[in-house]
Amino acid sequence: MDSEKRPMLPLIGSEIVKSTLTALWFMFLTFPIMVIKISPLDKTIHWRWMNLVYVGAGAFFLSFLWRYFMERKVQGARADEDGGWQKRAGQRISTDRRIYLPGLIALGAFVAIFPFLFSSYQTSIMITALMYVMLGLGLNIVVGLAGLLNLGYVAFYAVGAYFFALMNHHFGLGFWFALPMAGAIAAIFGILLGFPVLRLRGDYLAIVTLGFGEIIRLILENWNDFSFGPSGIAGISRPGIMGASLTLHQHTIYLYYIMIVMVVFTMIVVGRLRNSRIGRAWIALREDEVACQAMGIDKAKTKLMAFALGATWAGFVGCIFAAKTTFINPSSFTFMESAIILSIVVLGGMGSIMGVVVGAFILILLPEYLRAFSEYRMLVFGASMVLIMVFRPQGIIGGIRQHYTFQRKPAADAGEGGDAACA
Amino acid sequence: MQPVLDVKKLTMDFGGLRALEGIDLQVNRGEIVALIGPNGAGKTTFFNCITGIYEPSGGDMIINPPDKPAKRINKLKPNTVTESGLARTFQNIRLFQKMTVLENVMVARHCRTRSGILGAIFRGTKTCAEEQEMVDFSYRMLEKVGLEGYVNDLAQELPYGAQRRLEIARAMATEPFLLLLDEPAAGMNPRETRELDALITRIRDEENLSILLIEHDMKLVMSISQRIYVLDYGKMIARGTPAEVAADPNVVKAYLGETFDA
């Protein structure tokens, strides 16, 4: 970057002019609300001129900051064309054991003792965040890898939750039996949704899946005999360990560890799927449907597999959710949930596992811990989403592709001996 | 000997528009056959019919794989056609842009490999062996087209000529007996076209396959193809060796217009 240094002085001059204009514009815009204050009781007008100064100074400073980051973004795009340090750094961190091993151990230790360091309330929030990590990773298969925009993902979450709740209510089925079955049932629902939408893509697919999500919710809300309607199902049993009776606090800790194991399991499975024959078929399908078929990939089968596998994780989490809250009703499964899960995937980075983990923590923990600024909570939340999308449209952490190394033999018969993923 | 591809009376209608009418075309074992014709003559439509993207309105398409019985491919889905041994490239490059060069080729091994979801999750020895075979095979294909230096680059980062060659490598990875190339030299400079000429002939000889190509570059067509078919307005107007076709008055008329006095 040093090589293309431009003359600094005139540049700064024009930047100051730009920022001054922005500041003046903002001062003009906010004048009525920030400066004039009318008190209707004693019929007087207060002129708060100091506010005008604050707005001006603030806008001046922020516009500088905005343009600085915009400039960096443009330069970043240029740098990306010849490698991109982030990509290289990512590749390095994920391949060099000396760098990631100590970090991983420290993180593991922190995760392991987390419930003993923090209160039951914090642990409970963390469980929720971990549930969304799993949901995000599941949706990542469908949206991030296979490129099928699914706005009704919450339906599978509901299927898992209601499956466990109903089975528990009617037959007293335990959590550990219900968990794999909830996943399987959700997968079947995934295929059920998959069949009619095989020919659809993009916007059309999004609308149909949106409708599917609403259908499931409306059925749960209105079919009283089956789902107990809006009043929901209460008294769902928590996961037990060999019949031991646990206090509420102990239950939370137990559930926390279950979630940690489940999340690690999900990350391994999704990571392996991504770099497998099936995963590559999904990505190919996302990139170019016609070419994908012309390369001998069965479109229908591949799409159904993506829907089914994505839904499976939602089914798992649904079951865990029912066990965590011990009470479920249809209002937990609104479109808003689908939107949040989709935001996690897009914000974190489509097709990227670490991205989704980070995205879930940001989207779930940020509103939770911003409660201190209660009035501004949603404002900060919205602004941070807009900023991330402006400056990193590919998500916080973009997907990193598998790297292969080949030892080149000298002479004519070069090649062979590449490192496959199974090392 | 039976031709590897035997197309009889192929007709394709789009509503009221007859895009192809009674096309007969044969490709023999080991042959390089060219399909030429002015823009909009129906060449790519013909390819799309053979590869199952369109379902033809009439006629027959029969393939004779070297080691399997003859097969009618009229109503097959594109992926089944590819599995039976026909592979194609596209006129407007259709690579998987966000995948690496090696992965692009590995995707094409899909129909020749079997490992499923459970294999992917548990990574048993069988899956690993298959994965390794996939990597090695794909790397060999990349070597054939001279892209072994780019394995880990994203397909979208490749220069134009290299993208075209990657498409050929990808098609080859499906182990076809007949390779369909849709304007492989489009947008290439003269030097790249010469290299492509050598590449196509070399692939045919080394891999023991037949090639059917659509091409506008007459120099390339005349130098590498044994036989040429000429399409115009959906009809076959001429066929024969390069010399015969070049001398055919119908072809001259189709390319240069009615008023040309040959």
ipTM, interface predicted TM-score of the complex: 0.91
- Structure tokens given for A24: 């003046």
Check pLDDT > 70 for residue A92: no
pLDDT digits over B201-253, tens only?
Answer: 999 998 889 999 999 888 888 899 999 999 998 999 999 999 998 888 888 88
With cut-offs at 50, 70 and 90, classify the pLDDT of residue A393. Answer: confident
B179 contacts chain A (CB < 8 A): no
pLDDT, residue A407, reads 62
Q: Which residues 136-175 on chain B approach chain A with CB closer than 8 angstroms?
A: 136, 139-140, 143, 148, 151-152, 154, 157, 170-171, 174
List b or e across A39-58, with b for residues whose CB sees 16 or more CB atoms inside 10 angstroms.
Answer: eeeeeeeeeeeebbeebbee
B223 contacts chain A (CB < 8 A): no
Q: Do B90 and A291 make contact, defined as CB atoms within 8 angstroms?
A: yes
With cut-offs at 50, 70 and 90, classify the pLDDT of residue A401. Answer: confident
Q: Do B79 and A283 make contact, defined as CB atoms within 8 angstroms?
A: no
Q: Which amino acid is at B235?
A: K
| Residue B243 to chain A, least CA–CA distance (Å) | 34
pLDDT-wise least confident of A147-156, A367-376, B2-11, B79-88 = A367-376
For residue B90, which residues of chain A lie inside 8 Å, CB to CB? 290-291, 294
Phi, psi (5° rounding) for residue B239? -155, 155
Check pLDDT > 70 for residue A11: no
Check pLDDT > 70 for residue A84: no
With cut-offs at 50, 70 and 90, classify the pLDDT of residue A52. Answer: confident
User: Any idea which fold B1-85+176-262 has?
Assistant: Rossmann fold (3.40.50)
Task: Give A220-226 contacts, CB < 8 A, sequence gap 24+.
Answer: A220/A158, A220/A162, A220/A330, A220/A333, A221/A330, A226/A166
pLDDT, residue B207, reads 87
- A340 φ/ψ sector (left φ>0, alpha ψ -120 to 50, else beta): alpha
**For chain B, how many residues are written?**
262
Check pLDDT > 90 for residue A157: yes
Mean pLDDT score, A132-136: 95
- Structure tokens given for A31: 């004048």
pLDDT-wise least confident of A410-414, B3-7, B72-76 = A410-414
What residues have CB less than 8 Å from A300, skipping those under 6 apart? A198
CA angle A386, A391, A396 (to 5 degrees): 85
pLDDT, residue A94, reads 63
Phi, psi (5° rounding) for residue B180? -105, 115
Q: Is the dihedral of CA A17, A22, A25, A26 positive or negative?
A: negative
For residue B148, which residues of chain A lie inside 8 Å, CB to CB? 406, 408, 414-415
Check pLDDT > 70 for residue A83: no
C-alpha–C-alpha distance, residues B234 and B46, integer Å: 9
A272 contacts chain B (CB < 8 A): yes
- Structure tokens given for B21: 């009418």
What does DSSP assign to residue B183? S
In the numeric block, the tokens 């207060």 are attached to: A46
Mean pLDDT score, A99-114: 84
How far, in Å, are A85, B93, B157, B195, B219 from residue B151 at the CA level?
19, 18, 11, 20, 32
Q: Do B96 and A284 make contact, defined as CB atoms within 8 angstroms?
A: yes
Mean pLDDT score, A162-166: 94
Q: What is the mean pLDDT of chain B?
A: 89
Q: What is the 3-state secondary structure (H, E, C) of chain A?
A: CHHHCCCHHHHHHHHHHHHHHHHHHHHHHHHHHHHEEEECCCCEEEECHHHHHHHHHHHHHHHHHHHHHHHHHHHHHHHHHCCCHHHHHHHHHHHCHHHHHHHHHHHHHHHHHHHHHCCHHHHHHHHHHHHHHHHHHHHHHHHHHCCCCCCCCHHHHHHHHHHHHHHHHHHCCCHHHHHHHHHHHHHHHHHHHHHHHCCCCHHHHHHHHHHHHHHHHHHHHHCHHHHCHHHCECCCCCCCECCECCCHHHHHHHHHHHHHHHHHHHHHHHHHHHCCHHHHHHHHHHHCHHHHHHCCCCHHHHHHHHHHHHHHHHHHHHHHHHHHHCCECHHHCCHHHHHHHHHHHHHHCCCCHHHHHHHHHHHHHHHHHHHHHHHHHHHHHHHHHHHHHHHCCCCCCCCCCCCCCECCCCCCCCCCCECCCCC
pLDDT, residue B200, reads 92
How far the first Cα of chain A sits from its last, in Å, is 38
Q: Which amino acid is at A97?
A: R
A111 close to A316: Cβ distance less than 8 angstroms: no
pLDDT digits over A221-266, tens only?
Answer: 999 888 888 888 988 888 877 666 778 888 889 999 999 999 999 9
Higher pLDDT, A117 or A423: A117
C-alpha–C-alpha distance, residues B164 and B158, integer Å: 10
C-alpha–C-alpha distance, residues B41 and A173, integer Å: 67
Bridging pattern class, strands B58-63 and B71-72? antiparallel
Q: Which of A283, A298, A406 is closest, CB to CB, to B79?
A: A298
pLDDT, residue B258, reads 64
Q: Do B151 and A297 make contact, defined as CB atoms within 8 angstroms?
A: no
B127 contacts chain A (CB < 8 A): yes
With cut-offs at 50, 70 and 90, classify the pLDDT of residue A16. Answer: confident
C-alpha–C-alpha distance, residues B27 and B6, integer Å: 7
Bridging pattern class, strands B5-14 and B58-63? antiparallel
- For B97, the closest chain A residue by CA position comes to A287
| Residue B118 to chain A, least CA–CA distance (Å) | 9
C-alpha–C-alpha distance, residues B56 and B74, integer Å: 7
Check pLDDT > 50 for residue A148: yes
Q: Which amino acid is at B262?
A: A
Higher pLDDT, A385 or B77: B77
Q: Do B120 and A283 make contact, defined as CB atoms within 8 angstroms?
A: no
A283 close to B98: Cβ distance less than 8 angstroms: yes
| Residue B249 to chain A, least CA–CA distance (Å) | 37
What residues have CB less than 8 Å from B159, skipping those under 6 apart? none
Mean pLDDT score, A51-75: 83
Q: Give the alpha-carbon dihedral of A381, A384, A388, A391, to 10 degrees.
A: 160
pLDDT digits over B31-48, tens only?
Answer: 999 999 888 889 999 999
In the numeric block, the tokens 């390794």 are attached to: B132
pLDDT, residue A220, reads 93
B107 contacts chain A (CB < 8 A): yes
For residue A415, which residues of chain B lie inside 8 Å, CB to CB? 136, 139-140, 143, 148
Which of B98, B113, B133, B134 should be substituted to probe chain A, the one whose Cβ sees the most A Cβ atoms within 10 Å?
B98
What residues have CB less than 8 Å from B211, skipping those under 6 apart? B31, B32, B33, B178, B179, B180, B181, B200, B203, B204
Phi, psi (5° rounding) for residue A187? -60, -40
Bridging pattern class, strands B71-72 and B227-232? unpaired
Establish how many alpha carbons lie within 13 A of residue A70's alpha carbon, considering only the half-sphere containing its beta carbon.
6
For residue A303, which residues of chain B lie inside 8 Å, CB to CB? none
Dmax (CA) of chain A: 96
Q: Which amino acid is at B38?
A: P
Q: Do A273 and B120 make contact, defined as CB atoms within 8 angstroms?
A: yes
pLDDT, residue A214, reads 92
* Nearest Cα to Cα of residue B31 among B230, B229, B238: B229
What does DSSP assign to residue B10? E
* SS3 state of residue B39: coil
With cut-offs at 50, 70 and 90, classify the pLDDT of residue A113. Answer: confident
- For A269, the closest chain B residue by CA position comes to B121
Which residues are registered as beta bridge partners of B23?
A: B10
Q: Do B117 and A402 make contact, defined as CB atoms within 8 angstroms?
A: no
Q: Which of B98, B123, B134 is closest, CB to CB, to A287?
A: B98
Q: Do B120 and A272 make contact, defined as CB atoms within 8 angstroms?
A: yes
Q: Do A296 and B96 make contact, defined as CB atoms within 8 angstroms?
A: no
For residue A276, which residues of chain B lie inside 8 Å, CB to CB? 115, 119-120, 127, 131
pLDDT, residue A80, reads 53
B79 contacts chain A (CB < 8 A): yes
pLDDT, residue B74, reads 87
Which residues are registered as beta bridge partners of B236?
A: B231
Mean pLDDT score, A137-149: 92
Q: What proportions of chain B, in percent to the nearest 5, are helix, strand and coil?
A: 40, 25, 35
With cut-offs at 50, 70 and 90, classify the pLDDT of residue A412. Answer: very low
The proportion of chain A whose per-residue pLDDT surpasses 70, expressed as a percent, equals 87
pLDDT digits over A300-339, tens only?
Answer: 999 999 999 999 999 999 999 999 999 999 999 998 889 8
For residue A292, which residues of chain B lie inside 8 Å, CB to CB? 96, 107
With cut-offs at 50, 70 and 90, classify the pLDDT of residue B114. Answer: confident
Q: Which of B90, B116, B139 is closest, CB to CB, to A406?
A: B139
What does DSSP assign to residue B261? -
Q: Which of B95, B109, B136 is closest, CB to CB, to A418?
A: B136
Q: Show me where the domains of chain B are located.
A: 1-85+176-262, 95-175
C-alpha–C-alpha distance, residues B191 and A130, integer Å: 57
Q: What is the CA radius of gyration of chain A?
A: 26
Q: Which residues 161-180 on chain A approach chain B with CB closer than 8 angstroms?
A: none
For residue B136, which residues of chain A lie inside 8 Å, CB to CB? 415-418
